[in-house]
Structure 1
Amino acid sequence: MASTIEHQTDSESGPSMVAFLIACAVITLVAAGAGFGVSATMIGPATFPSSDVAGDGGAGAASGGGESGHGAPASGHGAESADSGKPAHEYVVVDIPSITTNLVDPSDAWIRMELSLVFTEKADQELAMEVHQDILAYVHTMKLYNLRGGSGYQHLIEDLQERAAIRTEGRVKRVLVRSLILE
């Protein structure tokens, strides 16, 4: 009697392995088709403005351009002049001397930075040296604690760009960090 009960539970245990594999195959095909369909509608050809060296810089709706936005700069950065096909804005990259100084806390921690400034149109070497001195003075007042992690690095970059823009009255659009060493 025990053998008949065991035999009945084996046959009533559920669907077969073949039905399970067929269901997995159907679900996989549906998922692959949905992924292909979504990617075909979402991904288009990427268009990048060729003259925009320093990033978007707020050339979208904030600049007041009518239809300008991502990929269609009408009047902001990256717009091209109609007659020559050349960029409307010229960017000039100026390397400034490396900055090496100690930090405030701890005083035995040193920082060395090599930076470049992205000027719009005409670069002024004297103005670049003023920015260099301003950045040197700022970095000398920093604490090591403020430079920890990715967010600390991002805050440093934002502070440097803000100082450079204020010092040059907006002529410096970006501060590029070529190297940053903390010791």
Structure 2
Amino acid sequence: MSDSALPQGAAAGNSLKASLIELVVVVILAAFAGAAFEASRAGAPPGADKPAESSAGASPAEPSTIVDLPPIVTNLGAPQDTWVRLEGSIIFDPGTLPHPDAVAGRIGDDILAYLRTVSLRQLEGPIGLENIRQDLNERAAIRSDGKVRAFVIRTLVVQ
């Protein structure tokens, strides 16, 4: 066995450790997102998932419109060699946005710029994910002049 084989083995071990850490972070984020979704459903009043009954003179409520943003891939602010991929959607009431694709593009550009300022530490744990979700909701509302009701994180992968 040569001396040059040892550093390569150590590098492979470090690469494996890094991959396992990334996998654990993604699994934790996914578990938190699932738990948050269940908690929001559990906290809803009974019958909230049923369609509203219309009264004699009222028209039934229109469903919300969802527009998917293109995937956003960028490096984080710190450490610079850490990359993030975010897939999200915006939810708004029909008719409120005359050009939803244009608004989605502005929101996507703003989120890209924002993610370039975020550090890996800010994304860690359930509180970090909740803070990022709130920040993205605020940014979507600002860029749409309050017409976007919510920004939904579909996937968030940090590598």
Q: Tell me which interval the TM-score lies in, with the shorter structure as reference length.
A: 0.5 to 0.7
Find the aligned partners of 1:81 and 1:130 in 2 and give their Cα distance.
39
Residues 52-81 of structure 1 deviation map (CA, whole Å, 9 limit, x = unaligned): xxxxxxxxxxxxxxxxxxxxxxxxxx7856
Question: For 1:165 and 1:114, how far apart are their aligned partners in 2?
Answer: 17
Query: Where in structure 2 are there 5+ consecutive unaligned residues?
Result: 1-44
Unpaired stretches in structure 1, ≥5 consecutive residues: 1-44, 52-77
SS at match of 2:134: helix
Q: Secondary structure at the match of 1:86?
A: coil
Q: Return closer, same or farther for 1:82/1:128 CA change in 2, 3 Å cut-off.
A: farther
Corresponding residue for residue 122 of structure 2: 146
Equivalent residue for 2:83? 110
Q: What residue number does 1:46 align with?
A: 46
**Separation (CA, whole Å) in 2 of partners of 1:119 and 1:50:** 20
- Residues 30-109 of structure 1: pairs in structure 2 closer than 5 A: 46-48=46-48, 50=50, 80=54, 82-83=56-57, 85-87=59-61, 89-109=62-82
Q: TM-score, normalised by structure 1?
A: 0.56
1:80–1:110 CA distance, 2 compared to 1 (3 A) = farther
1:169 to partner: Cα distance: 1.0
CA deviations over 1:28-60 (Å, ceiling 9, x no partner): xxxxxxxxxxxxxxxxx9211546xxxxxxxxx
Answer yes or no: is 1:125 the counterpart of 2:98. Answer: no
Structure 1 segments of 4+ aligned residues over 3 angstroms from their partners: 78-85
Q: Could you tell me which amino acid in structure 2 is paired with residue 140 of structure 1?
A: R
Letter in 1 for 2:89: S
Instruction: Report whether the alignment pairs 1:158 with 2:134.
Output: yes
Residue 170 (structure 1) aligned with residue 143 (structure 2): no
Query: d(CA) in 2 for partners of 1:155 and 1:145?
Result: 12
1:181 counterpart = 2:154: no
Q: Cα offset for 1:182?
A: 0.4
Partners of 1:116 and 1:129 lie apart in 2 by 11
Give the length in aligned residue pairs: 112
The residue identity in structure 1 corresponding to 2:143 is R
Spell out, residue by residue over 1:81-106, the C-alpha distance to the aligned partner (whole angstroms, 9 max, x if none).
Answer: 6446521x541000010000000110
Larger Rg: 1
Superposition RMSD in Å? 2.2
Q: Report 1 or 2 for greater relative contact order, CA contacts < 8 Å, sequence distance ≥ 6.
A: 2
